[in-house]
Chain A
Amino acid sequence: MAPLLEIRDLHASVGDTPILKGINLTINAGEIHAIMGPNGSGKSTMSYALAGRDGYEVTGGDILMNGVSMLEMEPDERARAGMFLAFQYPVELPGVGGMSFLRAAVNARRIEAGEDEIDQLEFVKLVRAKAKHLSINDDMLKRAVNVGFSGGEKKRYEILQMALLEPVLSVLDETDSGLDVDALKIVSDGVNLLRDPARSMLVITHYQRLLNHIVPDYVHILAGGKIRRTGGKELALEVEESGYVGIDDAA
């Protein structure tokens, strides 16, 4: 069986600047991988290249989900195929009601799968149940998407979407940034609830502390557009102690 995600010698540029210079990474179903790296190492570029964002041009290599190349797929097609990106900076959508937005996302998948749209009452119940675990109240659900949310609320809202959409591959882009200890705990607990033998996660972070809560199976160190080292969760602790200095030279 093909791995859930396979990144083969991925090269990507932003404008004329090459950022990713040959990434190789294989994630099997049920695994959690962490990507750590210093600022400017290409972490966010990697998440956007995976999601297919405009302006992040793949110049070489391939991205395969369950053995199927995603390079020709639009961002929404990749999403419906089961890829979810929890944004580092979730975007405000003024006037777009939270429930309508969530329902549109859920229904887009159901329609693609040839299913009926979700019943409205059933949907409200479902959202409320998932929101409860993330300490998201009804008031927050009624507001426009991300508008006026605090940093912590935005991150919890990302995880709520992840819980509703049940992606096979979740990419968490610096989900810990801007979170205090309590918020970090809520978010991590939410993520851990979604661990499942059929699903995988790619956790991108600058700091080790998130990995105390979301414990990875593998840790990769990204620097200068390449994965320089790969190890178990103990690698994160090592980096925490000695920093990223010297990792570039390891190549």
Chain B
Amino acid sequence: MAATQETIDTLEEATGKYKYGFVTDIESDKAPKGLNEDIIRFISAKKDEPQWMLDWRLKAFATWQKMESPDWAKLDIEPIDYQDIYYYAAPKSGEGPASLDEVDPELLKTYAKLGISLDEQKVLAGVVAVDVVFDSVSVATTFRGELAKVGVIFCPISEAIRDYPDLVKKYIGSVVPVADNYFSALNSAVFTDGSFVYIPKGVRCPMELSTYFRINEANTGQFERTLIIAEDEAYVSYLEGCTAPQRDENQLHAAVVELVAMDDAEIKYSTVQNWYPGDENGLGGIYNFVTKRGACRGDRSKISWTQVETGSAITWKYPSCILQGKDSVGEFYSVALTNNFQQADTGTKMIHIGEGSRSTIISKGISAGRSQNCYRGLVRIQPGAENARNFTQCDSLLVGDKCGAHTVPYIVSRNPSAKIEHEATTSRISEDQLFYCQQRGISTEDSVSLIVNGFCKEVMKELPMEFAVEAQKLIGISLEGSVG
């Protein structure tokens, strides 16, 4: 409730254009353009990685070279020249500063502009710990001391590879194997940074953890890798946010996120994705090709994905759950909003293996302008998943008459005791609703935002409060110019 009211406040200050489109003028350290074994060795050396990690990368690269770019999604993708991308870019001031005092003031300014405070003193104690990734490196991670007191590890993954090799070795690639798909293989070869989270047995992480991704350099791809492990009875809520400068060329973002939840553990993963979407004529924007998957390994474990996808020229992602544990629970709450020439093909996979496993999918797609928005989801019940349950609800809302909404649900049940429900609706913003809001004095754009936020409410209420406000504001901004 409070968040919704805040929205109205924040909506008013919303500006007309993508407001994160600025570029930080900072000297950067880049690997030469292009992709080959030497580049991978360069990245690995930059990160001071052990040999096993380099070997893993090189193997992934060999795998990727044998693969082909997928074309089954309902997406129209310009061919990507993988030799025309920088795979490593870091602010010159260095890799992994020891403390916030060492962070380049230009960077601190950038994050202040983005509304992210890296100043621990200014943040009320126990709010959100942030790891910020600027192009290819993590530039700061806050509240690490606080978290260490309870045994929680929250650090850049490049650091985890050096400091916690056993944990990383055990879990990396265990949920999303290298050869899972074209982009996961690419990511495994060239990933540069991302966050690592480890919650020990019985610990409830005392604050929200958050990673903020920013692409700054031109022609640079961002390949982040995130790994979150929650041991027995552990709990963590993790948020990620993303922005990039406004540029005419397309930039590639191919991330891999792996989650592992053991017995009675719960991981709540929320995303507000606001990469630069391209301009109103479809020029530029980020290609957001992401593989996110969580394994509910333990009994009664729970993984919940919440995503608000408003940015990127093209979004291709299906945050999924492998429900191995008995009575494990998977949830997927999604708002995908496309405007102008944006394309999104997004959804989830719920793979039921464990007895009594349950999943819920709530997807809200909003298409405006000339955009195409596709929900694609798989619910698979394996033979051993006795009494598995799934409920899926896919709602699409069309704004204007030049956009498209598509729903492609796949359902495979191999166990007769399973119960699967699928509901889907497609509607338009009605003239009645708009006129009603306007007659109360609310401007057309604010009315649309209000109605669309109402449409998304079931998903928005799953977001942590801090993010809900930002997400609602984003929806208003992203829809500007779509009506009237």
Q: Is A53 an interface residue (CB 8 A)?
A: yes
Cβ 8 A contact of B454, one of A55, A79, A94, A120: A94
Q: Is the CB of B439 within 8 A of A95?
A: no
Q: Is the CB of A76 within 8 A of B442?
A: yes
Q: Is the CB of B441 within 8 A of A93?
A: no
Q: Is the CB of A165 within 8 A of B4?
A: no
Q: Is the CB of A75 within 8 A of B450?
A: no
Contact residues of A between 82 and 100, Cβ < 8 Å to B: 84-85, 87, 90-97, 99-100
List B contacts of A117 (CB < 8 A).
9, 12
A94 to B251, CA, bound (A): 37
Cβ 8 A contact of B450, one of A51, A54, A101: A101
List A contacts of B440 (CB < 8 A).
76, 79, 101, 104-105, 108, 161, 165
Query: Interface residues of A toward B: which range?
Result: 35 or more
List A contacts of B14 (CB < 8 A).
none
List A contacts of B432 (CB < 8 A).
91
Q: Is A130 an interface residue (CB 8 A)?
A: no
Q: How many residues of B contact A (CB 8 A)?
A: 32
A105 to B450, CA, bound (A): 11
Query: A94: shortest Cβ distance to chain B, in Å?
Result: 6
Q: Is the CB of B8 within 8 A of A107?
A: yes
List A contacts of B12 (CB < 8 A).
107, 111, 117
Q: Is the CB of A85 within 8 A of B442?
A: no
List A contacts of B451 (CB < 8 A).
93, 96
Decide yes or no: A85 and B439 within 8 Å by CB, A95-B455, A95-B456, A100-B4 being known contacts: yes
Q: Is B108 an interface residue (CB 8 A)?
A: no
A100 to B7, CA, bound (A): 9
A79 to B442, CA, bound (A): 8
Q: Is the CB of A93 within 8 A of B436?
A: yes
A107 to B7, CA, bound (A): 12
List A contacts of B455 (CB < 8 A).
94-95
Query: A184: shortest Cβ distance to chain B, in Å?
Result: 23
User: Contact string, B103-119, partner A, CB cutoff 8 A, digits 1/0?
Assistant: 00000000000000000
List B contacts of A179 (CB < 8 A).
none
Closest chain A residue to B447 by CB distance?
A76
List B contacts of A109 (CB < 8 A).
441
7 closest cross-chain pairs (CB), A and B? A95-B454, A95-B457, A96-B454, A79-B441, A105-B440, A91-B436, A75-B438
Residues of chain A touching chain B, judged by Cβ–Cβ distance below 8 Å, are 51, 53-55, 74-76, 79-80, 84-85, 87, 90-97, 99-101, 103-105, 107-109, 111-112, 117, 120, 142, 144, 161, 165
Give 25 A-B contacts (CB < 8 Å), ordered by A residue. Answer: A53-B435, A54-B431, A54-B435, A74-B444, A87-B436, A91-B433, A93-B437, A94-B455, A95-B453, A96-B451, A96-B454, A97-B1, A97-B4, A100-B1, A100-B4, A100-B5, A100-B450, A101-B450, A103-B5, A103-B8, A107-B12, A108-B441, A108-B443, A112-B441, A144-B457
